[in-house]
Structure 1
Amino acid sequence: MDITQLHYFIVAAEQEHMTRASEILDLSQSALSRSITSLEKELGVPLFDRKNRKVLLNRYGKVFLKDAKKIVGQVEISKSNLSQLIHPDFGNISISFVHSLGLNYIPSLLKEFQLANPGHTITLNEDKAPLIVKDLLTNESDLGFATQYQSFSDLDYNPIFKEKIVLIASSQHRFSQMKHIQLEEIVQENFIHYNADTELRKLIDSIFLEYNVDIHIAYDGLEINSIIGLVSSNMGIALVPESVVQNFNDIKIIPILDVTIDRTIYLIHKKEGYMSKAVLFFKDFIFSYHKK
């Protein structure tokens, strides 16, 4: 049984005449008869009482006609929904991104995109890099923004920008009065740190290990919003991506003279996966956005 068979059955039932039904369907009468006979055989009951070329629904056919119309109607609704999702002018785009991009980068990117393209709907998901990769591999997201913590052969990684990881402190902290510091000067301070399984935590810990710096972690296991809040309240210092503190007047960036820390953000998607016109359009916009 398939949708075509159901459509043929509905037309024949409504016309109650095989010749008229075959003309409407632009189908030979014999092909229409074979389709309906096959459907009846699969269902195990006759759907029509036949007399010459006239066909009248019997009680089984009347019950099945209601269900067939519901099924065909639902398929048409689903086709329409999918068409809207992939439409280049007002389709849906699903993106995942690491938490630290949600404070500035993603809002700025989406604001500019939707000012020019208000018809699109965008589904957002904040997560850690490994879970973003999982969403991409299982087609839960169309595009991902994250660091390349691990390379997967099924994914395409496009570097879109590099940003500095900077030391921040409250405007009330003693560091805020300094023009710069050495990395080793932070060892006496309360350090506010990320969740252990985030890529920023791993990057920063690798720098501390390389420079043999033993920090005092006062608050641990946090995401970027909590870290910014604690620093703003002068509860300690932290290393964060530079973009996340662009709009905080009570937080100061203190340059570190003896080390430069940065990370690269990639636009990630499946190599072989289907990509709608709406997603392709947004992907092109992202590359243009970074060429400005």
Structure 2
Amino acid sequence: MYTLNWKQLEYFITLAEIQNYTKAASVLNITQPALSRAINNLEQSIGIPLFEKSGRGVKLNFYGHVLFQHLRIARDKIYEGEREVRSLISSDKGHISVGSLYTLGINFLPLLLRDFNQEYPQITFSLYQHPTRILLEQLNNNEIDICFCTDFDKDTISDHLMKTVISTEPLYMLVPRTHPMAGKKSANLYDFKDDTFILFNNLTLFHNESLNLFSKAGFSPRIAYEANEDSTVAGFVAAELGVALIPPIYGVNMERCVPIALNDPDAFRTLCMIYKPENESIPVVNKFHNYVISWLAENRDKIAPNYYK
């Protein structure tokens, strides 16, 4: 099988685009005879002519046109790969894929990325929002570079991922405004043992965390519905279909719901920045990771929504 080398690819594409041996040779900084020999060797190796005469120049024939379409794409991909590798070498420009919980996409991430891009405008981002379990799978599969999600048990998820705590959030019991406890500022989990619950489903790590908290409080919840999205859980509570154990949630209509603080000492969740150790060798990812740590030192209070304070 014939293997095309880089010089032949470059010579062929240049001649195909310029359609004149003298001008193409000048662009390539070689002599016209050298270009003619290279094209002739290419045609002999493939076993068929690729050009035909056209006035004082040449043009691709049918077979040359077919080859040109493929080689032009190959050349562009090679250049694209070269540009991407060069961008990875620089810590001041490049692209980062970030995963996040839905709730962090309302307040925390917009503020963080706004401030980061003011300092590093040539670094761009793609954002993927999912429950923690899916985010960790994406990180393990190299679909994202870094993610912001709830803490996890390394023994059951992935023992090689690294994490940095970004915030500890209190949990609340979300009840309809018609609920007997709606006027309370705080309560114990056990106070809701007779209620019907809307629970986050097992796509979220919060599912098992919630069940563990109910067990510590001394009861098993009567579960009516399960969902994996914050606004759905809040909507079911607003419709008086039950109560829900929730973290602080953003961007949700709370007019018909009341969040009640919990006195239980374990009623909190920990949010973390999760990453692979090897990803820190990528300059833009390492720069972003270090920036987040310094940014949190000054802006940690911006993570929590105002209506829970």
Identify the TM-score tier after normalising by the shorter chain: 0.7 to 0.9
What's the counterpart of residue 215 of structure 2? 209
Moved more, 37-46 or 182-191: 37-46
Q: What is the DSSP-based 3-state SS (H/G/I as helix, E as strand, rest coil) of the residue aligned with 2:186?
A: coil
Aligned residues of 1:147 and 1:263 also touching (Cα < 8 A): yes
TM-score (norm 2): 0.70
Going from structure 1 to structure 2, the CA distance change for 1:107 and 1:71 (only over 3 Å counts) comes to closer
Q: Does 1:291 align with 2:294?
A: no
Distance in 1, matches of 2:60 and 2:223, equals: 79
Going from structure 1 to structure 2, the CA distance change for 1:274 and 1:30 (only over 3 Å counts) comes to farther
Distance in 2, matches of 1:135 and 1:246, equals: 27
What's the counterpart of residue 140 of structure 2? 137
Q: What is the DSSP-based 3-state SS (H/G/I as helix, E as strand, rest coil) of the residue aligned with 2:278?
A: coil
Aligned residues of 1:105 and 1:243 also touching (Cα < 8 A): no
Q: What is the DSSP-based 3-state SS (H/G/I as helix, E as strand, rest coil) of the residue aligned with 2:193?
A: helix
Q: Does 1:127 align with 2:130?
A: yes
Q: Does 1:16 align with 2:18?
A: no
What's the counterpart of residue 166 of structure 2? 160
**What is the total number of aligned residue pairs between the two structures?**
287
Deviation per CA, 1:54-74: give whole Å up to 9, x if none: x96785785468537743674
Going from structure 1 to structure 2, the CA distance change for 1:30 and 1:129 (only over 3 Å counts) comes to farther
Distance in 1, matches of 2:225 and 2:60, equals: 75
Going from structure 1 to structure 2, the CA distance change for 1:15 and 1:143 (only over 3 Å counts) comes to same
What's the counterpart of residue 259 of structure 1? 265
Give the C-alpha shift of residue 264 in structure 1: 2.0
Distance in 2, matches of 1:221 and 1:98, equals: 14
Give the C-alpha shift of residue 135 in structure 1: 1.9
- Amino acid corresponding to residue 67 of structure 1 in structure 2: Q
Distance in 2, matches of 1:60 and 1:222, equals: 56
Moved more, 79-88 or 64-73: 79-88
Q: What is the DSSP-based 3-state SS (H/G/I as helix, E as strand, rest coil) of the residue aligned with 2:181?
A: helix
Give the C-alpha shift of residue 208 in structure 1: 1.5
Q: How does 1:1-292 map to 2 (within 5 A)?
A: 1-11=4-14, 14-17=19-22, 24-26=27-29, 36=39, 39-47=42-50, 59=61, 63=65, 66-67=68-69, 70-71=72-73, 74-75=76-77, 78=80, 82=84, 91-113=94-116, 121-151=124-154, 152-153=158-159, 155-242=161-248, 244=250, 248=254, 250-273=256-279, 279-292=285-298
Give percent identity, aligned residues only. 26
Distance in 1, matches of 2:8 and 2:292, equals: 45
Going from structure 1 to structure 2, the CA distance change for 1:26 and 1:186 (only over 3 Å counts) comes to same
- Amino acid corresponding to residue 139 of structure 1 in structure 2: N
Aligned residues of 2:169 and 2:270 also touching (Cα < 8 A): yes
Gaps of 5+ in 1: 50-54
Moved more, 3-12 or 208-217: 3-12
Give the C-alpha shift of residue 191 in structure 1: 1.7
Distance in 2, matches of 1:281 and 1:290, equals: 14
Give the C-alpha shift of residue 205 in structure 1: 0.5
Aligned residues of 2:176 and 2:182 also touching (Cα < 8 A): yes
TM-score (norm 1): 0.74
Gaps of 5+ in 2: 299-309
Aligned residues of 1:22 and 1:29 also touching (Cα < 8 A): yes
Give the C-alpha shift of residue 194 in structure 1: 0.9
Q: What is the DSSP-based 3-state SS (H/G/I as helix, E as strand, rest coil) of the residue aligned with 1:288?
A: helix
Give the C-alpha shift of residue 255 in structure 1: 2.8
- Amino acid corresponding to residue 6 of structure 1 in structure 2: L
Distance in 2, matches of 1:134 and 1:258, equals: 31
Moved more, 205-214 or 271-280: 271-280
Distance in 2, matches of 1:286 and 1:15, equals: 55
> What's the Cα RMSD here?
4.3
Q: What is the DSSP-based 3-state SS (H/G/I as helix, E as strand, rest coil) of the residue aligned with 1:132?
A: helix
Aligned residues of 1:45 and 1:60 also touching (Cα < 8 A): no
- Amino acid corresponding to residue 205 of structure 2 in structure 1: E
Deviation per CA, 1:117-158: give whole Å up to 9, x if none: 666653222222232122223332222112343533553323
Q: What is the DSSP-based 3-state SS (H/G/I as helix, E as strand, rest coil) of the residue aligned with 1:149?
A: coil
What's the counterpart of residue 52 of structure 1? none
Going from structure 1 to structure 2, the CA distance change for 1:72 and 1:246 (only over 3 Å counts) comes to closer
